[in-house]
Structure 1
């Protein structure tokens, strides 16, 4: 049976490890999103559910092994694809309307609502990768979140890119990407081997991003006489969950400046900025994506597990604390 109702399981789709089920989420603006659910049997209010909020144009299947690891360590886990991506992709992206605000304000919001409805009484934690950490601040119900872990999370202000990689990244993401998007009506990233094909609105937000995100997104939209971007900015202050923001020293997207720029918006949260160098775990590289690779199950994932379980950084965790900010402060 295939049922595309609100938050229902969809049969007939290949299952993920450990009986992960395909699910369909419905957003408050009527979009259907595909995803996967790892669920333990029975009811357990003491068992948290973890939502994984993906990076830009990265399919939720990419996080399946990490989700399986969390499941095996006692969590229920929900992954989902933003509108326009992976399980949530329409037949054509040409002219498809979606931007970063949609991904947070509607899509992650749908995941939060589904978790609260399906797992009543269970605490909700969120893992945000890259833009997935930014999306947390945009979700209207973000105050429901109990604990937050982010990896390389920022909103792509180009001056924060790693100095050595900055010229190449600027050309790639702020010149080539928008040019190709204008030609095709979406960014055909998959045929370039860069990432999943990407809606034009997301490309617009990324390629034009300024030092303050509210000076970039939704500038022409007003709600009750106020710019929507300013309303979005205030939503970040609703987050009271403690945050562990992990940055990798060889990640040119997730530099200290980039992570701190985003963390400064979460003024009601206790924030920890943790840095890890590849040498800390005896490898040559980690970068922007590899934290979620299975080869780091024994070296990096216990740090995430310790934080999600108890809000603690394990004493033997690789890396060091770069910054810590308390509620009521921006840095």
Structure 2
């Protein structure tokens, strides 16, 4: 049986992230970094990480700064940003794998923001492959009208009002994950209101990025019942990765005997029938 343990990951700015590492009972084939969606704690990915470990892969899950066990003090005093999640947190998590498990190939499975932000990682070119789940630009304008109204309410009313009243965004009140540090929520709002998501910050808060140089093989698995990561938003996100080789698949839940996949259900145990797609991709790119 795979083993797992709680660890700490120290970022370049000395921020400490809470993480869990799953290790296989056999000699590992490689290592996989699971990059979380906005406001989602690492425990959400434990079943998937255990599956990867059962197949012979080291799997690392972590809480971004300001989220879950990586939050220090009261959230209203947390200065974390979405940008830091890519530039510092993802980078440190991959560094941890490289330091503690050298001489392996490293893969990234990104969920939503976890895949969007890889172009901010200075070490992303050291990945052997990327598999992104429910990942797109999340541009509000590209969503179907009925969901667009809901998304506009959350992004352009709930976030600024919650930040003003509480000093952070009470995302859990509306079923949008863990409470978010105000700067995370504010950047999320700004980027989803524009085109190309993170592209909105190029030349502003982001002076250095790797979106136009990454050539890592990538697989993008999105669902036809995902209100956020639809085909138009997938194209919008891919337009920022100008050199990234990308294979895309739109999944139908009925095709796999599921009632829904949506934006979040891929990592549910009920959807484990989908997990071999990710494993197959990783194994194709493991020497």
Identify the TM-score tier after normalising by the shorter chain.
over 0.9
* Equivalent-residue separation in structure 1 for 2:79 and 2:137 (angstroms): 20
Q: Which residue of structure 2 aligns with residue 264 of structure 1?
A: 239
Q: Which is helix-richer, 1 or 2? A: 2
Q: Which moved more, 1:124-133 or 1:279-288?
A: 279-288
The normalised TM-score by structure 2 is: 0.93
Residues 234-313 of structure 1: matches in 2 within 5 Å?
A: 235-297=210-272, 299-311=273-285
Give the superposition deviation at 1:38: 0.9
Matched residues in 2 for 1:304 and 1:237: separation? 25
Q: Is the alpha carbon distance of 1:266 and 1:215 closer, same or farther for their aligned partners in structure 2, counting shifts above 3 Å?
A: closer
Q: 1:151 aligns with which of 133, 156, 168?
A: 133
Root-mean-square deviation (CA), in Å? 2.0
Please state how far the C-alpha of 1:196 moved relative to its aligned partner: 0.4
Q: 2:77 is paired with a residue of what secondary structure?
A: coil
Higher relative contact order (CA 8 A, sep 6+): 2
Greater Rg, structure 1 or structure 2?
A: 1
Gaps of 5+ in 1: 1-16, 220-225, 313-331
Q: Which moved more, 1:104-113 or 1:148-157?
A: 148-157
CA distance in structure 2 between the partners assigned to 1:248 and 1:311 by the alignment: 23
1:270-323 deviation per Cα after TM superposition (whole angstroms, max 9, x unaligned): 1011100122113322110000001121x21111111111149xxxxxxxxxxx
CA drift at 1:266: 2.0
Q: Which residue of 2 aligns with 1:7?
A: none
Moved more, 200-209 or 263-272: 263-272
Deviation at residue 262 of structure 1 after TM alignment: 1.3
- Which residue in the other structure is 1:205 paired with? 187
TM-score in terms of structure 1 length: 0.81
Alignment correspondent of 1:90: 72
Q: How many residues align?
A: 284
Secondary structure (helix, strand or coil) at the match of 1:231 reads coil
Q: Deviations over 1:167-209 (max 9, x none)?
A: 1221123211221122110012234443101010111111122
2:170 aligned partner:
188
Q: Which runs of 5+ in 2 are unaligned?
A: none
